[in-house]
Amino acid sequence: MARSIIAATIDYAQITENARAIISATNTPLMAVVKADAYGHGLVPSAHAAVAGGATWLGTAFLDEAIQLRDGGVTTPILAWLTPPTEEFMRALEFSIDLSISSLDQLGAILKASESVGRKARVHLKVDTGMTRAGALEEFPALVEAIAELLDEERIELVGTWSHLACADEPEHPLNQNQYERFLSALEYMNSSGIDPGIRHLANSGAIVHFPQFYFDMVRAGLLLYGYTPGFTSSDRLSVRPVMELSADVALVKRVPAGASVGYGATARLNDDRYIALIPLGYADGIPRRLDTPAWCEIGGKKFPLIGRVSMDQVTVDLGSDTEIAAGDRALFFGGDGSITADDWARAAGTISYEILARIGARVPRLAK
């Protein structure tokens, strides 16, 4: 099999090990978040790898993602949470997929689908505790009342109650404690209404690292599963390793005279004679076009800076005034031994490692290590 000139090489065995590490550190059941093509790592194989590591739940944003998992042979419980009332909820019921509800409109649409297929819906009630995205806010008491009635009639199954944290990667932010207390209040309200909230889950990757008191009955790991810690932080309790390695062949090496400009807009100009490498990865493949500080790749065990603007399909790299690098050598953008990471690229681009990983383009093959 010919080598791919560009590739995202995925160590799925490391996803398994990362899942085990999270479960060991938290001593709590794990929902592996595999939305957005498992943060760019490949939806179905990443899900299988996480389950092999002990994950007992999977989380997706869209229902279509959850159905892809079922089509891929995944039988583990799945929660799909970005489901507007216009969604075809009958598909969720047919594929035994749990749904998140944040409004009476959603609940009504799910019930209509449930009656159509003759199957009881499994739902997780989401509470807006301060993220101000999905989640019940003013409608929360009415939703609790409606759910209580439906439970009495045995027309629905309340599997869990959950919320999402806005600032868990900033452990000193006061909103963290505030959201925790609001979640406790919501659970207390449900209990006082005679409703068992089911599986209580609040902790995302940031909370897994910083807030053990937020674990409740299940934790949800996204970024941690793929080997990075939110907010460029680290943890003494939890050790995970990056899963993805992004690399490409050097397409061309040439000597360029002093005074030459490099790339679109002629934003870089050479002060002396230099060797330039052309590498076929660009912003269409997920390399950030905007770089606030220099970004680097590794070739032949040495680090070299990008020079000039990132193009749609290619970047140029400054090899210096002399070089042994040749066309056909492999350039590593991040991964491998960890000398360059997705965090490094995130800092250079003024973004977060989530985006660096998830934005890797569809034409970059995902290869199992």
- Establish whether 302 is a catalytic residue: no
DSSP run (H or E) holding 252: strand 252-256
| Type of residue at 191 | N
- Which is the catalytic residue, given 254, 264, 303, 369? 264
Least Cα distance to 68 among 91, 90, 87 occurs for: 91
Least Cα distance to 277 among 323, 243, 311 occurs for: 323
Q: Which two tokens stand for residue 359?
A: 């934005």
- H runs (alpha helix) in 223-281: none
Q: Which two tokens stand for residue 277?
A: 């490498």
- Establish whether 264 is a catalytic residue: yes
Find the angle CA(367)-CA(309)-CA(295) to the nearest 5 degrees. 60
The CA distance from 90 to 24, in Å, is: 37
Structural contact between residues 161 and 198, judged by C-beta atoms closer than 8 angstroms: yes
Find the angle CA(228)-CA(165)-CA(48) to the nearest 5 degrees. 45
Structural contact between residues 260 and 298, judged by C-beta atoms closer than 8 angstroms: no
The CA distance from 311 to 289, in Å, is: 7
Q: How many CB atoms lie under 10 A from the CB of residue 216?
A: 20
Q: What is the DSSP letter of 365?
A: -
The CA distance from 356 to 287, in Å, is: 8
The CA distance from 60 to 46, in Å, is: 12
What 3-state DSSP class applies to 117?
helix
- Which is the catalytic residue, given 12, 35, 39, 228? 35
**Catalytic residue ranges:** 35, 264
